[in-house]
A and B are shown apart, each in its own frame.
Chain A
Amino acid sequence: MSCAQDLARYRALFEPKGVIVAGASSHPGKFGFVAAHNILAHGYAGRVFLTNREGGTILDEQTYRSVDEIPDGAADLVFVCTPPASIPDLLRSCANKGVTAAFVSSAGFGEAGEEGLRAERELASLCDELGILLAGPNGQGIISTPVGLCAQIIAPYPPAGRIAVASQSGGFVQAFLNYARSTGVGVSRAVSAGNSASTSVADYLEYFASDPATDVSLIYVEGLADGRAFFEKARAAAAQKPIVVLKGGITAGGARAAASHTGALATNDRVFDGMCRQAGLSRAATVEEAFEIAASFAAQPLPRGPRVFVLTTAGGWGVITADRISQSRDLQLLPLPADLRAAFDAKLPPRWSRNNPADLAGSETRDTVLECLELAVAHSDVDAVVLLGVGIQSNLGDLERRSRFYPAHGLERIVEYHERQDTRYATAAVELSRKYAKPVLVATELADAQPGNPGIVKLKELGAFAYASSHQAATALEHLFRYRRWRDRRGL
């Protein structure tokens, strides 16, 4: 993306003032219906024009027989669902109407053999000629929550947020959007790159880096046509914002018969991994980890250093979390500072662990968890806090609420108290993180086991989320810290 004109075309793709759905269909089983339906059903505020050769209405909208009937300058994006042979003429008409971006969902191009590949190259050069940014072909669509755009032939429509997704697989766009829905950590833009005839994942990264609606990019890549260009663009984008990468397709490509030992050891996975480290990209090991790291970048400030403090009301979790952090190549379990121990001593009876992990050992009263949490987050030696035990009280409350004795015997009152406490803990985790600009990560199995737990719900409401285990929280923290370190070492 080299100039203002390019930027304007990306804006047409992600923030169009009007959208043409070319090849809209009245048949609910067809992509031309699904695309039209999804755009119309999700609150997109711009104008939507459906074209259909037969005319008539679709989804209560009067259709146009041809793009030529659409008012000049009313749409800048076309979502194409028509067969490949019809697309060149269609795009010429669209260009005449002021369209500057096209998302081509139609299949039958590069993925369909030699002839398709030729058609794809012609399509790319035609778009160049017409001044149209070409996304796809053979892609599943675009999401842009700031303008309520759901121009895709897959589900779901995610909550609004700060993660931008670009993927070489439409299936992984879908997977990430579903994780966004389940965690509540939302998405700004999403695009299925399809065959990337002229716009690659690296190009989307460049746009996301300059996009005020985006804080972190999340990408899935398999093959890269130009690895060098990817590296250069991704590194420049990573200097602006964090990028999380999921890579598919590990082959032994580099381990071919090579003249040199070095060549024999240069498998494509190892080279890709080194490229990621060099470019400041956070490479995820699994699909769910990829989303979680991106969500962590979106929800948490970067830690200034590697020193982690663990605060728990659930003993075993604290020990396991401390073990995990102690074994990390990047993080450190902070030895409990003397002044912090003294400050905790003043708040707690002597049976607390007097160590990091700080296990409050059931000695907490109404406000001690909150007070100790603030002492820890505020301490100058602490770079990040993992908070364990949120939701435990409401978990008991849930059991009590379902009991035949409820609401008598004081159960109603105590259940309300439990739930209020967890809500307060969740709120404090988020507020203290913001107040002191340090990550505060909540981890509990209740994230999966009891998603309706008031502690979990509160976190979600505040744009944060609970990690289903402390291992996942530690992994996320490692990525946050490594990105911060990558920046610091390069004076960024």
Chain B
Amino acid sequence: MSPSTSTLSEWESKHRLAAAGIPVAEERLCSSAEEAAIAASELGFPIAVKLCGPAIAHKTERGLVRLGLRDGDAVRTASTELLAAARPEDGRVDLLVARMVAGKRELIAGLATDPTFGRCVMLGIGGIFAEILADVVFRLVPVSRTDAEEMLDDLTHRAWLGPFRGEPAVDRERLVDVLVGLGKVAEEDARVRSIDVNPLIVANGLPIAVDALIEVEG
């Protein structure tokens, strides 16, 4: 991250994505452990809880993500620990309580600012091998539906989007929505420098943004 940019909180990042038509995992923003436990029981288990704030970019590295919580007590304990882990420089923090999304496949999507061509939307094969496979494709903003459809077919491992181990093929229209939506988020705010949607989990054929981070100028 260059010094002249900052990140939006995960909550706000996802709100912008959802407003642009990108399917986002169902979640609640809570300010206390008790509130988080109530939200969890409404959403249904298993639950993920993350510490969320505009100054927090690298949650995983700091251990600020708790996954697979199976009951209210687990959520309460995790939430208390996460709030205690906040540092003064994190500023205002909240708890992001989300229902775990189950899927066998992960995609990565996002937006980058290329020094020559400016802002471009990305789609790639996600998961732990994302960087090694580097099976990613780009299109310049704005991205039309036709452009987005062609991105799907340009993946080297495009068969990966087909039916997989009992799961249906990835819903192409919904995936196109994600890519077109990423372009829209950029078009609506000239300050947006980068977006990471990682992972974009494919759950029963439908892509859902599970984590998201928007980087903006200033």
Contact = CB atoms under 8 A, between A and B. Distances in A.
Interface in A227-275: 227-228, 231, 253-254, 258-266, 268, 270-275
A489 B215 CA distance: 33
| Main SS class of interface, A | helix
Interface in B135-155: 136-140, 146-147, 150-151, 154
Contacts, number: 104
B108 A261 contact: yes
Given A262-B122, A274-B138, A277-B139, A231 B117 contact: yes
A265 B136 contact: yes
A41 interface: no
B112 A259 contact: no
Contacts of B137: 270, 273-274, 277
Contacts of A274: 120, 137-140, 151, 154
A262 B195 contact: yes
A67 to B, nearest CB: 39
Contacts of A27: none
Interface in B196-210: 196, 198
Contact of A263 (B131, B139, B147, B194): B194
A262 B116 contact: no
A301 to B, nearest CB: 23
Q: Kindly state the interface size class of chain B when it binds its partner.
A: 35 or more
Contact residues of B: prevailing secondary structure: strand
Contacts of B108: 261-262, 265
Given A227-B117, A228-B118, A271-B120, A266 B112 contact: yes
Interface residues on A, range: 20 to 34
A270 B146 CA distance: 19
Contacts of B120: 266, 271, 274-275
B10 to A, nearest CB: 13
9 contacts: A227-B114, A227-B118, A259-B215, A262-B108, A262-B111, A265-B131, A268-B115, A270-B137, A277-B137
Pick the 6 closest A-B CB pairs, nearest first. Answer: A262-B110, A259-B1, A274-B138, A227-B116, A266-B112, A227-B117
Interface of B: 1-2, 5, 7, 57, 108-118, 120, 122, 124, 130-131, 134, 136-140, 146-147, 150-151, 154, 194-196, 198, 213, 215
Interface of A: 224, 227-228, 231, 253-254, 258-266, 268, 270-275, 277-278, 489-490
